[in-house]
Amino acid sequence: MKSRFVNTVRRAGVTVGIMGMALAVVARDEMTNIVVEVAARAIAERDNLPGTMFQDVHGVSVRRQGEGSPQADLSVRGAPFSGSGYLLGGAALRNAQTEHWQFDVPLPDAWFEPPALLTGLDRFRVSPGHPSGSVALELAPLTENERRIAAGGGDKGLAFANVYAAETEAFGNTVGAVSAFASFDRSDQTDGYRDNFLTRATAGGRVSAVNDSMQGDVLTSYSWKEFGARSFYGTSPAYPAQESLADMTVAGSLKLMRDPEQVSRLTAVWKQAADDYLLDRDNPSLYENRHTADFIALHGETRRVLAESWSVDLRADGDLEAVASESLGDHTRAHGSLAVLPNYHLGPLTFTAGGSFDVFSTDAPAWLPAAGIEWAVTERQTLFASYTESVRQPSYTELNYNSPASLGNTGLQRQHTRMAELGWKGEADRLTWRTAFFYEDSENVVDWVQAVPGARWTSVNLQGTETFGVAADGTFRAAPSAEVGLDALAL
């Protein structure tokens, strides 16, 4: 299937929705001042929907199947969803069954800094990542006591409710925090097919401690959803398909930042996704597919200053993927990556050259070089050029799937991508921007093709694909609470 953290703010809020709209009321008590903010928003913008966290990220497009996003894919600069992904605290998360479930993030936006797209050398420094680019999700320090409740409804049986809370306490110069959230939403119809319904529930919690020199976090979440999937993944709309997915996430992260020039981080993540797909909900015996995919990742990174003109970026990653499936079979594979990127600083110029050595339990090792030059034209403007390489192993759906609509290919080779970028980035008083010309040369990209109309979709390796393009984005801060963004992409 295809800073300072001791001062805290107390805040509470309630949202009630009527006739497809929601009214949000937030009361805030800061020092002796009381501020009440009232805002109306569309109820479709409810929290915790797949892809919602990424919809405003420059260079990223969200491709949803149905209103409310029963399933959503991400595309980085127009690339296939299989070559894109996200990082949680630097750890590259994947789903060995299928990348269709790679972008569900059952975690509240309030826990994170604004997401940012990493490509080229920026991505390579942090993580093995994903060939076309990775969206970085960085845990934000919890420094506010907050209570938030939202509920709403609309036509087509639309209803949702969610609650979020965070409690902080100062211990000297350290702030400890506990946060929890829960959400529920449903809809009788998500697209043009009347039986494509959606029911979803999510809950989780986080414990955090932060001060000027470190930040530590432990978090967990559980999400379950069931939805009508008629015509999803290229299947015939004649079949009333249905699918359910249960997702469990446990993660921990420790960031050491006493010296801003030598920040270190360690992250561990475990994810499990249990997927149950029925091609015909009225006739389950026709075709049913059950998968359980486990993913464990360990990530470490640091920068060390060796001398006035020399520094080195180091990272180490290891991950284990396991799939237990009625149709894909039972499989386990592991991957490790060690990267060394020396940097030489000469006035406004920084030269970087190095690479990573990646090993695989089911494939040959790979040496992936990386190099770049940055020129700080001014304190707030930089010209940059980079070259990086990356690899991607096919998912087990692409390798082993066998259904009335699709057929995998056990002979698929891993994808190898070479990327070059040339760009300009900077900021002014209220404006930030980034422009880059990029070139991707990929071997063995996996695609699904039909030999003739009506035949099964079959996964194949494309021998060579080249992409030239220019991506430009900018953000203008019109007011402290108002921004205007622009994204442009030409391929």
- Name the phi and psi angles at 464, rounded to 5: -160, 130
Mean pLDDT of the chain, nearest integer:
88
Name the residue ranges covered by the structural domains of the chain. 9-490
In percent, the amount of the chain with pLDDT more than 90 equals 68
Please state the rounded mean pLDDT for residues 233-247. 92
For residue 223 the two structure tokens come to 């999400």
Among the listed residues 116, 139, 141, 113, the one whose alpha carbon sits nearest the alpha carbon of residue 129: 116
| pLDDT band at residue 429 under the 50/70/90 scheme | confident
Position 1 scores a pLDDT of 41
| Per-residue pLDDT reduced to its tens digit, 266-306 | 999 999 999 999 999 999 999 898 999 999 999 999 999 99
pTM for the whole structure = 0.87
Quick check: 476 and 430 in contact, CB under 8 A?
Answer: yes
Position of tokens 């801060």? 477
Q: Give the DSSP H or E segment for 399.
A: helix 396-400
Position 26 scores a pLDDT of 41
How would you classify the pairing of strands 288-305 and 214-228? unpaired
Among the listed residues 23, 25, 32, 27, the one whose alpha carbon sits nearest the alpha carbon of residue 11: 27
Please check the confidence at residue 327 and state whether its pLDDT lies above 90: no
Among the listed residues 125, 124, 83, the one whose alpha carbon sits nearest the alpha carbon of residue 102: 83
Please check the confidence at residue 49 and state whether its pLDDT lies above 60: no
- CB neighbour list of residue 42: distance below 8 Å, 6 or more residues apart: 20, 21, 22
How would you classify the pairing of strands 84-88 and 133-137? parallel
In percent, the amount of the chain with pLDDT more than 70 equals 90
Please state the rounded mean pLDDT for residues 9-25. 40
| Per-residue pLDDT reduced to its tens digit, 94-149 | 988 888 887 788 899 999 999 999 999 999 999 998 999 999 999 999 988 999 99
- CB neighbour list of residue 176: distance below 8 Å, 6 or more residues apart: 168, 169, 170, 207, 208, 209
Please check the confidence at residue 453 and state whether its pLDDT lies above 80: yes
9-490 folds as Maltoporin; Chain A (2.40.170)
How far is it, in rounded angstroms, from Cα 243 to Cα 228?
6
How far is it, in rounded angstroms, from Cα 164 to Cα 221?
13
